[in-house]
Chain A
Amino acid sequence: MKPFKPVLLEAVGVPDGHTIASYKSRGGYAPLEKVLAEKQPADVVEMVKSSGLRGRGGAGFSTGLKWTFLPKDHPGPIYLCVNADESEPGTFNNRILMEDDPHQVIEGIILSSYATRASTAYIYLRYEYPRSWHRLQGAIDEAYAAGYLGKNIRGSNFSLDIYLHRGAAAYICGEETGLIESLEGKRAWPRIKPPFPAIEGLFRKPTVVNNVETMACVAQIARRGVEWFKSIGVPADPNNPRDPGSYGPKLYCLSGHVEKPGCYEAPLGITARELIDGFGGGVWKGRKAKAVIPGGISMGLMTESELDTPLDFAGPGKVGCLGLGTAAVVVIDDHTSIVDFLHNSCRFFAHESCGQCTPCREGTSWSLRMLERIKAGKGRLKDLDILLEIGQTMGMMPGSTICGLADGAAWPIKNAIKKFRGEFEDYIRRTNPSGWMVTDPVPALQIVGAH
């Protein structure tokens, strides 16, 4: 593995790295001034588009392309929402950026607002990040004082206000239209699409929703150039016209059963094994990995034999996972029960399902109840078939829900059962020797409410 000098994380470990003075000493805000003085918004869009930057929030949609969906010559206002509601289990890359280098994020926001002609930007921050909240607000205040925010920034005709909004701790607020609804002061029920936010978003105006890390990448592209960005990562697959390639550095959040968990910056395309062994110091206590979550719990599971899969936008999909997601790699060692893993996963999604669409609302809670029952020693082999059916029919991809939360809930279920069915069957046979073959309905267990 080639050594890689962190770019997005360069402020980590720098004393007072979160201050504007430190950020400017590292070359920050100079690119912004240059862009404001020399470039038109369309040039910035073109720059980001040609860099091949794909959104870091999970779906991996081309950022530049997203910006071009905004209506041309719209009288405004156009809004930029920065999604800092980082709630995917195992994910903490946005947090590092917001806590240790908030100005990098803010510079990215200013550049992106300039490109999209937004004069108001909202940062939707998850409630559980008080430190990020203080650091970001401090950085916003510093940026106002330094004249990078406000009216006529640096003598250009461009004005921008950034508002930091603290959410109230719900996973669904990370879905872009759920975020918009929540920002409008409503219940965070994702909207039906179309219309997409680029056409009708926040306050029914054109809106771009981007991730915090995407913003940081925009700042780095402006500073180091498109060529630098494209030199990192995995180029597009010439055999797959729908693969736009995975360029740039990525923050991988490594956690779980590894010796050295943490947030590591690496070029896109590093394999899971390289990440675990190279950065994480290997699976802890000298054990072997049983499974690895490639990018947050909703992306599914990779088995030990699939660890050589490159963690780029196309890689995890090739082994049956949903995608790269947030690149939150969670290692599960071979002492861990996959039944426990799935139970935990189902508990999370049953708790976080917003409850709007029937298949997700009932499917997540039904799967949790079945897992509760299996864990209580009353499982049946039939439950596995039902779980698999729920996993295969719930979600935006089969068309049964409005947003992708259900896909995220479904993927761990179907990956776990397909890839570890033997372990589930053994568990059920062992814990329920008299009833594992029952196929009639059985009484439900009392479960503790989600709240």
Chain B
Amino acid sequence: MPVVIVDGQEIEIGADERLNCIEAARRAGKEIPHYCWHPGLTVVASCRMCLVETGQRDAATGKVTMVPKLVPGCQTPAKDGTVIVTESQLVKDSRARVEEALLIDHPIDCPICDKAGECLLQDYHFEHGQPERRADLHPFTSRRRDVGPTVSLFVDRCIMCTRCVRFTREVSGTGELMVSARGSQEEIDVFPGFPLDNKLAGNVVDLCPVGALGDKDFLYQQRVWFLKREANVCGGCSAGCSIHTEHNQDTVYRLKPRENPHVNKWWICDEGRYGWHHLHDPARILAAGRRAARGTNGHGTPGSDFDAVEWADVVTRLRDDLKAAGKLAVAVSPMLTVEEAWMLCAVARSIDPEAFLAVGHVPTAGGDETFPGGFTIRAEKCPNRLGVEAVVALYDPAVRQWGDLLTHVEAGNANAAWITGGYSRAWIDEATAGSFAELSQLVVQDLFDSPLAAHATWRLPAAGFAERAGTWVNVAHRAQAFVQAIRPPAGVWPEARLYWNMLGRRGLYDAVSVRRQIAESSAAFAALAGDLPATGVDLRILQFAAP
């Protein structure tokens, strides 16, 4: 195994790993500061913050020959015998000078800058900068320029790392951003008439190490040090990108991509990035309701046809109603987690042992869209079709789909239906909803009212993606577990809590225990046993390994 020596500490790297000095030093617990380098972009070695001393240890004699000058860590490969010195006085002085140089033209407007608190320029200045300013003091300027519908450029804050420019050229392939002018007059800009407007545009804001690129959606909404972050999975499409949900006091403020080499690398699309606003939509269903007796108005919400029902009563009365109705058909929404789907099927079969189980409506839009950098936005706009199909298959190997359920209901084979939704957008039309008009019981569990509400006898709220805990299986069979980031609005029980209680389980819903139980009881989910890594597991792995 090749050995790299970082500040005297020997670390082994993989024989065919291609690491640069920054990555190798990180293995040894040494952080080499850097701005322009990003693992997902080409190396330009231009910020010069990662300058280190390097050398080569002779394998035979053990003698170390140092390179007589500083070299950029991002550009220098770490090979067997490479010596990296990250803490010499020469390196420290060099970092301090680069910090000083970057701050010469920087407005230092941290108090009004959205990046403050998560800004590399700030962090590195405190860690590597010099205590006093030697450069001449400049009058404060903070020019703001719109570069696209979602992104604002604060021109004077830019340190010209060109990460954003490289992103639009290499990953999104749209090339809107460029560097204009020369030397210290240089600025990031767009070509006239071609704004930064692509489906991955928001990533340039994540890439920006300073406060130059601002996301208009998040700008001035919240100071970043108030934000808490939870590891979540995006529910926008079947790609299942790993994200961080950043929230404060049960309000989501932004979503950020979470690095996952198996799924989304470092990126997410704008559709997912801004796909959290429905969580705080006042039009959401916020209470459980049962249709009032005909001719009377419900006493739940003024003007509503539903009587508000306490959740404790929902658990019993819903079961009674469905049991009384007879033959039950259930649509298991692909927005549900594996755990929720599994519990829902169990609940349904406990009410009607012959219950017809089908995968719920799978929303799609257009075709899969792949970008030059390899990132793909999926046409299937739900996160867990594969997971739900696998759960349904445990009960019914035929794996019925939404269309089958409609046929089943239209043929008069069901007396009651339980439709789970959780869709953030309108998904069903009047005509389709009409298929359920004749049922004696129709339970609709969704985020927003749909045409189904006209026929529903039970109207139950659903949880949004950040309000759930559980596991989703993406289009590549990768199962990712995630925790609940925020509490749902008052009056809303996440689906899992309702099913948990309907199954008569004690205490609070615990996604991990349900997942373990699923993994133990079915071969298809065997990979979910034990703790899942943050990047998820491939659901097929153990099955392939089986004899």
Contacts and interface: CB of A to CB of B under 8 A. Distances in A.
Contacts of A362: 101-102, 104-105, 184
Most buried by B among A369, A399, A402, A449: A399
B186 interface: yes
A450 B182 contact: yes
A401 B48 contact: yes
B199 interface: no
Contacts of A357: 46-48
Per DSSP, chain B at the interface is loop
Contacts of B323: none
A351 B183 CA distance: 7
B138 A352 contact: no
A332 to B, nearest CB: 25
Interface in A334-377: 350-359, 361-366, 369-370, 373
A356 B46 contact: yes
B69 A366 contact: no
B143 interface: no
Given A187-B179, A364-B184, A398 B49 contact: no
Interface in B87-108: 93-94, 97-98, 101-102, 104-105
A42 interface: no
A393 to B, nearest CB: 6
A450 B186 CA distance: 10
Most buried by A among B135, B182, B185: B182
Given A400-B48, A441-B137, A443-B137, A358 B101 contact: yes
Most buried by A among B98, B105, B139, B185: B185
B181 interface: yes
A145 interface: no
A242 interface: no
A72 interface: no
A441 B70 contact: no
Interface in B160-198: 160, 179, 181-186
A413 to B, nearest CB: 15
Contacts of A364: 183-184
Nearest to B161: A358
Contacts of A359: 48, 97-98, 101
A1 interface: no
A373 B136 CA distance: 10
B44 interface: yes
B182 A355 contact: yes
A450 B69 contact: no
A441 B136 contact: yes
Interface in B24-54: 43-49, 51
B133 A441 contact: yes
Nearest to B135: A366
B183 A361 contact: yes
B71 interface: yes
B134 interface: yes
B184 A386 contact: no
A366 B183 contact: no
Contact of B179 (A355, A366, A389): A355
Interface string B116-137: 0000000000000000111111
Nearest to B36: A358
B179 A400 contact: no
B184 A353 contact: yes
B450 interface: no
A196 to B, nearest CB: 14
A419 to B, nearest CB: 24
Nearest to B105: A362
Interface in A304-355: 350-355
A450 B183 contact: yes
Given A362-B104, A369-B136, A355 B183 contact: yes
Contacts of B181: 355, 450-451
Contacts of B137: 441-444
Most buried by B among A358, A441, A450: A358
B136 A356 contact: no
A362 to B, nearest CB: 4
B75 interface: yes
B134 A361 contact: no
Nearest to A396: B69
Contacts of B183: 350-355, 361, 364-365, 450
Nearest to A368: B184
A354 B182 contact: yes
Interface in A393-449: 393, 397-402, 441-445, 449
A350 B134 CA distance: 19
Given A355-B182, A364-B184, A402 B160 contact: no
B185 A449 contact: yes
B469 interface: no
Contacts of B135: 366, 441, 444
A443 B140 CA distance: 11
Contacts of A361: 101, 160, 183-184, 186
B335 interface: no
A170 interface: yes
A200 B183 CA distance: 26
B45 A192 contact: yes
Contacts of B105: 362, 365
A169 to B, nearest CB: 11
Contacts of B49: 358
Contact of A358 (B71, B134, B159, B179): B159
Nearest to B181: A451
A400 B94 CA distance: 8
A298 to B, nearest CB: 15
Contacts of A386: 134
Contacts of A397: 69
B101 A450 contact: no
B101 A366 contact: yes
B288 to A, nearest CB: 59
B101 A363 contact: yes
B540 to A, nearest CB: 39
Contacts of B138: 444
A393 B44 contact: no
A355 B178 CA distance: 13
10 contacts: A192-B44, A355-B179, A356-B160, A358-B49, A361-B101, A362-B104, A393-B97, A400-B48, A443-B137, A450-B181
Which 7 residue pairs across A and B have the least CB separation, nearest first?
A444-B136, A399-B70, A399-B69, A362-B101, A365-B184, A353-B183, A355-B186
Interface of B: 43-49, 51, 69-72, 75, 93-94, 97-98, 101-102, 104-105, 132-139, 159-160, 179, 181-186
Given A192-B43, A361-B186, 4 more contacts: A357-B46, A358-B49, A362-B104, A444-B138
